[in-house]
Amino acid sequence: MSQKSSILSDYFGKLILKEVRGISFEVRAWANIIKDVIDSEYKKYSDYNFMGDFDNGEGFDQTMNQLTDKRELTVADLLAMNKDEIDNILAHIMDYHKLKYERVINLKPNEAVSLYNQIIDKDKINKESEKPITKSTQIIINGRDYPEAFAKFSVDKWVISDKQPTEYDHVKSGYQDNGEYVVFINCGLNSASLFVLIHEIKHAYQDWQRMSKGKPPIRQSKEMQQLYTKDFEKFLLSHQGGFHLKTLDSVIYAYYVSSDAEIAAYLEGAYDDLHGGSSYPQFAGKLRELGRNMANFKASQVDSDTPPKSLQKRWAKIIEDYNIPLFRKFKNVFDFLKYTERKFNKKGQYIVKKVDKLRTIQIPRPNL
């Protein structure tokens, strides 16, 4: 555990680790730990690459790298070397095997090669054991290595996969057959910001709160079954939303942001923005704007900007192509928009109120 994460887990451990107006500090504790691990894993990876190129022109190390790639040094390699290269080889044999100069200078070529290859093999084993992470891999964090954070939010294993789209995997996460509580998160590891991690970990936290109390997981909630289906996600990934609520795409995007699961996670991001700690500046303002637009939403303001031009035809196509049970209840787009108006007006007011209240939460932050 690095210095930074132990300071942080101490800090968060001492906080009253309970949700304050929906803001969860146990989520931040884990986000900071996980960010720290991701950063150091990636640093290790870039250091490793850097070392590979570092000693160009420095004789031995360059030779060493080439030879490591080539597996083993041969007598022919040795005989083809110039004096400086041979001196480097001998210097490393002296150093590694603790041999005197008089001894190595009298080694036969095959003896020198054999002693030198022992160094390469050792080096290879070392490099294997600190294998750098590469694209499309995973970071696995043992939750019990961080007892303070574990005590408040008990995840046995965090599996962070370098995969897009970024999401908390609510299908796989939860108690596994061996009894361990495992959280699976997909995100681009080289670009994982605290904003993203806090958002996804908030989803994980809400699910853990349910499952650890024996309640059904989020994947069984009414919202997930009626609205937040795989097809709903698919729609969002292939359509531009925006907060203006003047097109069906934008309205459907607002259904996503304001869903019970998402709004809780987005409010975490708004809290950090308002309290000076966000990697997504002005997020609180954007979320509040969406809330205001929803509160003032009128069914009549929506038009089709995507073919087919007729709003009804576009709607019919959406509900045909995407299995979203809540939407399929409305065959007529104006019925859907009327329903949406009532729903959005109420939810919009709630969002504005929530964002405004976040400003007044006073919790000391550590100096990071």
Please give the residue ranges that form the binding site for Zn ion (CB under 5 A).
262, 265
What is the number of the residue whose Cβ is closest to Zn ion? 265
Closest approach, Cβ 228 to Zn ion, in A, equals 10
Closest approach, Cβ 265 to Zn ion, in A, equals 5
Alpha-carbon distance 187 to 203, whole Å?
14
Neighbour count for residue 282 (Cβ, 10 Å): 11
Distance of CA 7 to the CA centre of its chain: 22
Closer Cβ to Zn ion, 89 or 261, answer by number: 261
Which DSSP string corresponds to 104-157? HHT--HHHHHHHHHHHHHHHHHHHHHTPPP-SS-EEEEEGGGSHHHHHHS--SE
Contact 198, 12 (CB under 8 A): no
Contact 294, 256 (CB under 8 A): no
Q: What is the largest CA-CA distance in the chain?
A: 94
Closest approach, Cβ 204 to Zn ion, in A, equals 10
Closer Cβ to Zn ion, 23 or 265, answer by number: 265
Closest approach, Cβ 359 to Zn ion, in A, equals 23
Closer Cβ to Zn ion, 39 or 262, answer by number: 262
Closest approach, Cβ 190 to Zn ion, in A, equals 20
Closest approach, Cβ 334 to Zn ion, in A, equals 30
Closer Cβ to Zn ion, 33 or 257, answer by number: 257
Closest approach, Cβ 332 to Zn ion, in A, equals 30
Beta bridge partners, 157, equal: 142, 182
Closer Cβ to Zn ion, 41 or 233, answer by number: 233
Closer Cβ to Zn ion, 265 or 294, answer by number: 265
Closer Cβ to Zn ion, 149 or 198, answer by number: 198
Alpha-carbon distance 314 to 341, whole Å?
19
Closer Cβ to Zn ion, 123 or 262, answer by number: 262
Closest approach, Cβ 227 to Zn ion, in A, equals 13
Alpha-carbon distance 149 to 134, whole Å?
28
Rg over alpha carbons for the chain, rounded to the nearest Å, is 29
Alpha-carbon distance 226 to 185, whole Å?
23
Alpha-carbon distance 58 to 78, whole Å?
17
Alpha-carbon distance 347 to 51, whole Å?
54
Closest approach, Cβ 238 to Zn ion, in A, equals 17
Closer Cβ to Zn ion, 152 or 170, answer by number: 170
Count of helices and strands (H, E) across the chain: 17, 5
The helix (H) or strand (E) run that includes residue 304 is: none
Alpha-carbon distance 339 to 199, whole Å?
29
